[in-house]
Structure 1
C-alpha cells in the first residue's frame, strides 16, 4: 500500500482499476481493507480508491483530539493529492459522516455520494452504544473488545452461522490494533458529530442506504439523513446489520451499481433497485 503526506500526516491508500473514480471511506475501524469485496467487484470498470484514516491501519496515528471535520480535511487533501476528478464517495458509518461534512463544504468536489449505515447527529441510543464500546475498550482485553464490538456490526444469524470464521479474524485484528487512546479519540469524534445544520448545503446526488436490522445506526437515522439532504433517495434492505456490505455483499454491490447507473457512470442490465425519496 503506497503512502502520501496529506493534511500533515502520512496516509496509506490503494488504487485499483481505471475509469470513473470511486473512493471508499470506512467506519470506526477506519481501514481500507474493509472494502476488499468492493475492490474486487468494481475495479474492472472503475478507479477504486481505498485508504486508512487518521488513527487507523498504516496511516499515522497522531495525538488527539480528533473530529469528523478533521477527518474530512484529511479526505479532501487526499482527493487533491491523488488528482481525483469528482470521485463518487461511498461512505460507511463514520465514512458517511466524513462525506456529509465534505460535500457540504465543497459541493463541487464529488460527483455523488452513497451514505451507508450512517447518521447525521448523535442521539441517546447512539451514545449509549458507544458508551458501552468505550467501556469495553477501557475495561477489558482487546480480544473481548473486538468480539463485543462485533455484536453491533453483525446480525445474530450471521454471528451464529459464521462464528468459526469471524472469531479468528477478530482475534487476528488485535495484532495490528491501534493504541487504545487513539481509538478513544476516534470514538469521541463520532459521538460529537452533528451535521444536521449542514445537510441542506449538500447539492450532489445522494443515495442513503441501510439495513432494517442495523442496531448501531437504525433505519430512522438513515431516514433523517435522507430527509435532510435535498433530493436524497433512501434504500432500506431487509437484513445484513451495520456491516451489510460484508454480510450481504451481492445486495450491497447491486445497490452501488444501481446508484452509479442512476448518475450516469455505469450501465447495468441488472434490475435497478428502486430507492425511496
Structure 2
C-alpha cells in the first residue's frame, strides 16, 4: 500500500501515469476513491496523484492537525516527497479550499487550482454549530440525513450510500473542519492569487450555491467558472463525462498562463 509519513501522520496515496501532474483532493470524510471516474481518462496523458488526506479513507486518523493549515502542510510535504512539478490541484468541496490555500501560501508549488463545489465563504456560524452538535449526538443518522442533499435529484441511491459509508468509516476528529468552517473566508486574499484558477460547480448544488464561485471568481484576476448542468455538489461523480470534458478544456489555458508568469512572481511565497 503506497503511504507517506508526514507531520506525525501517515497518508495513503496513489500515483499513476506520466505527463503534466494533477493532484486530486477529495471532500470532507470521503477518500481518493471519489475520483475513480477521472483516473482512466487522465492517467493516459498526465501523472495523476490522489491522496486520502489525514483522518480520511485509508490514511491515519490523528487527533491533531485536522485544520486547513494542517492539511496544507501535509500537501506541501507530499508534493516535495513525490517530486511533483507544480501540479494543477483539483479539489472537491473542502478539498477545493485546501487547494486554494495551498496556492495562496505556496504559489511556487502549484501550477493551477480547480475548486469543485468549493465552499469559499459560504457556511454560516449557526448552521455549522448545529451540524457539529448533531454529529456528536448521532453521527450515523446525521450523515445519512445530510449526504443525500449533496446530490442532484435522480442520483443513483448506490452512489449516495457509498458516500455515506466512506464518511462513517473516516475518523471523528475531522469534525474539527466543520466546527471551524464558518471562520473561513478567502475573499480578502483572492485578488492576490498568483496562479491560474478555474471554478467547476454543479448547477443544482444546494450545499454551496453557484453564486459562491461566481463571487470568488469576480475577485480573482483571470479566474473562470464552468457550471456542470444537471449536477449537484459532486459533479465529478454525478456527470463524470461532462466534468472530464470541461476539466480537459480548462487545463491547456492553465498551462499557458503558467508559462506567462513573470520571473519575479516565481519567488517562493513567505510562510
In which range does the TM-score fall when normalised by the shorter chain? Answer: 0.7 to 0.9
Tell me, yes or no, if structure 1 residue 252 matches structure 2 residue 249.
Answer: no
2:269 corresponds in structure 1 to: none
Contact 2:92-2:115 within 8 A present in 1 as well: yes
Contact 1:21-1:48 within 8 A present in 2 as well: yes
Tell me, yes or no, if structure 1 residue 134 matches structure 2 residue 132.
Answer: yes
Q: For 1:230 and 1:20, locate their aligned partners in 2 and report how far apart those are by CA, in whole Å.
A: 24
Change (3 A) 1:56 1:141: closer
Q: Give 1:177's match in structure 2, choosing from 169, 184, 187.
A: 169
2:113 corresponds in structure 1 to: 113
Tell me, yes or no, if structure 1 residue 151 matches structure 2 residue 142.
Answer: no
Change (3 A) 1:244 1:167: closer
Q: For 1:8 and 1:171, locate their aligned partners in 2 and report how far apart those are by CA, in whole Å.
A: 28
- Please state how far the C-alpha of 1:148 moved relative to its aligned partner: 1.6
Contact 1:30-1:53 within 8 A present in 2 as well: no
Q: For 1:130 and 1:155, locate their aligned partners in 2 and report how far apart those are by CA, in whole Å.
A: 22
Displaced runs of 4+ in structure 1, greater than 4 A? none
Q: For 1:205 and 1:171, locate their aligned partners in 2 and report how far apart those are by CA, in whole Å.
A: 33
Q: Give 2:189's match in structure 1, choosing from 198, 207, 222.
A: 198
Q: For 1:229 and 1:246, locate their aligned partners in 2 and report how far apart those are by CA, in whole Å.
A: 27
2:262 corresponds in structure 1 to: none
Contact 1:72-1:101 within 8 A present in 2 as well: yes
Name the stretch that deviates more: 256-265 or 47-56. Answer: 256-265
1:90 corresponds in structure 2 to: 90
CA shift digits 1:74-122 (9 cap, x unpaired): 1111101111011111111111101111111122211111111113224
SS of 1:157 mapped into structure 2: coil
Q: For 2:80 and 2:35, locate their aligned partners in 1 and report how far apart those are by CA, in whole Å.
A: 21
Q: For 1:99 and 1:141, locate their aligned partners in 2 and report how far apart those are by CA, in whole Å.
A: 27
Q: What TM-score does the superposition give when structure 2 sets the normalisation length?
A: 0.86
Which runs of 5 or more residues in structure 1 are unaligned? Answer: 266-277
Which runs of 5 or more residues in structure 2 are unaligned? Answer: 257-271
Task: Spell out the pairing of 1:21-100 with structure 2 (5 A cutoff).
Answer: 21-64=21-64, 66-100=66-100
1:213 corresponds in structure 2 to: 204
Tell me, yes or no, if structure 1 residue 231 matches structure 2 residue 222.
Answer: yes
- Please state how far the C-alpha of 1:13 moved relative to its aligned partner: 0.5
1:272 corresponds in structure 2 to: none
The aligned length equals 256
Tell me, yes or no, if structure 1 residue 188 matches structure 2 residue 212.
Answer: no
SS of 1:37 mapped into structure 2: coil
Give the RMSD, CA atoms, in angstroms. 2.1
Contact 1:226-1:234 within 8 A present in 2 as well: yes
